[in-house]
Amino acid sequence: MGIFSKLSLALAAAALVGPAAARKPPISRPELQWGPKTPGHPFPHSPKRCRTCFVPSASGSSSGGEGNDDAPAILQAFKECNKGGSVVLDGNYTIASPLDLTFLEAVDVVITGTITFSADVDYWVEHSFKYTFQNSSTFWRFGGKDVNIYGGGLGVIDGNGQPWYDEFAKNPTLLRPILLVLDGLEGGSVTGLKMRNSPNWFNLITNSKDILVSDMDIKVRSTNANPAKNGDGWDTLTSDSVVIQNSHVDNSDDCVSFKPNSTNIVVQGMQCNGSHGISVGSLGQYPAEYDIVENVYVYNISMSNASDGARIKVWPGSDTPFQPGLSGGGGAGYVRNVTYEMFRNQNNDWAIEINQCYGQSNQTICNMYPSNMTISDVLFLDMSGTTSAKYDPKVGTLVCSSPEKCVNIAAHNITVTNPSGRTPQWICTNMDEALLDINCVSK
């Protein structure tokens, strides 16, 4: 091989694995905008990036492979292109070891290829990043300041969930990883990605603020009789000023869920199918904690084939063994200033559910140990569509522990119907019915 050929190969390799001004990312960062509802203040400006790191797959091409681990190369690229660069993942990659990317600053993550996590369940149970809240864990996590993750509708993050669904069917206490965690991120975005088959929740946004999520496509599907479980689209936890919008979610649990200490959250323009609704909670799970959810606006939602449409769920005032690996109750706190507006229902069991005894089916215990959580200043506005036949003629349930625990909860312009065409009925307990423009009945 001549000297010029060797030089050409060296230059090509350098462009692939390190900062390369000559090569640009395959797509540009999208214009990040939200609307029509806003979080109330502008998010920090994100400057253009000045250098690029392309990450090769472990096989040396774009083919990837289950026996490989691309995590070390990905980590190296972030170290090289941190503080002003773009990391490009445009091939097929396998992540087989945990990636802690919480040190980032002013970096773009361009995913136009496919990222898949290895199927070694036993390894990930031991080596994933752990969180105390509901025994959560994750394969990898992003944090720092000014991080934009985008895929232009091309990039795929695949949780390789089937082995987890199969094992969870045998072991319901299995610690299953979340597909993507933003942990301690101040200013950033996740846009234009396809997410497939997470072992557990798809996304957790925790300890973060000023985050925009937009134009996401989430789907989960089991290939056998072992169902995918707990596949929440997004959960927010101890986070402020988050916008989640214009996305499609086809999953197995909450479309979006606001966990403890979620404040100033906007969810809008969502299409959700097969979920458990857009939910406040669950809250009050841990007796030593004081949970709040405040200033939440849910707008322009299409919800189909779900257990619930708009949902607020808090634990009772005593310990409750709900499911293997999930129990709680006795915690205190409040839910305040929550609006659900322009919500379309199609074949949902309940159009609205307020439940102050989450996880406890024994009503006697619920009455003995009412929730320590207060729910106030909640508005359900302009809700339409038809529920499923499951509870027909009932279409919603608003049940509180006591009148003092549910204050100023209103429902206006609610035109939800049931399949039978009978007069829609709503279960209302300890509610101020003067604020509810619905047909309240007892259980």
Q: Which residues are designated catalytic?
A: 276
On the question of a cis peptide bond just before residue 260, with omega within 30 degrees of 0, the verdict is no
Q: What is the 3-state secondary structure (H, E, C) of 232-270?
A: CCEEEECEEEEEEECCEEECCCCCEEECCCEEEEEEEEE
Strands 136-138, 129-131: pairing kind: antiparallel
On the question of a cis peptide bond just before residue 36, with omega within 30 degrees of 0, the verdict is yes
CB-facing half-sphere around the CA of 166: CA atoms within 13 A: 9
**328 Cβ contact list (under 8 Å, min separation 6):** 282, 284, 285, 286, 315, 319, 320, 322, 359
Burial 57-88 (b: 16+ CB within 10 A, else e): bbbeeeebeeebbbbebbbebbeebbebbbbb
Q: How many CB atoms lie within 10 A of CB 191?
A: 23
Instruction: Answer whether 301's CB lies under 8 Å from 335's CB.
Output: no
For residue 252, which of 205, 308, 314, 306 has the smallest C-alpha distance? 306
The Cα 272–Cα 269 span in angstroms is 10
